[in-house]
């Protein structure tokens, strides 16, 4: 999980950098580049949301499997 978190920190850093570049492009009148950058930002932000939802579902499934395994383990005796 740590590696995953480190990757998302890198994504956040690049996203902040892209926000700055988009603003610079907009201020310079390079609207097409600014619009493209804004599109990339939206895709990345949606990816973060999707990844969080998938992580939550995976954690829930893991807990469910652990519960089922415990319930169906044969007790010695």
Helix (H, G, I), strand (E, B) or coil at 5: helix
> Which domain range does residue 15 map to?
5-74
The two structure tokens encoding residue 55: 């992580």
Supply the pLDDT for residue 77: 56
User: What percent of the chain clears pLDDT 90, i.e. is strictly above it?
Assistant: 73
* Residue range 10-47, pLDDT digits in tens: 999 999 999 999 999 999 999 999 999 999 999 999 99
Q: Can you say how many angstroms the Cα of residue 62 is from the centroid of all Cα atoms in its chain?
A: 19
Number of domains in the chain: 1
CA–CA separation, 4 and 52 (whole Å): 11
Prediction pTM value: 0.72
């Amino acid at each position: 999980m740590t590696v995953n978190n480190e990757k998302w920190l890198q994504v956040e850093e690049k996203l902040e950098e892209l926000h700055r570049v988009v603003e610079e492009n907009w201020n310079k009148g390079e609207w097409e580049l600014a619009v493209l950058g804004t599109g990339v930002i939206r895709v990345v932000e949606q990816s973060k949301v999707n990844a969080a939802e998938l992580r939550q579902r995976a954690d829930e499934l893991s807990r469910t499997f652990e519960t089922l395994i415990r319930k169906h383990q044969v007790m010695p005796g």
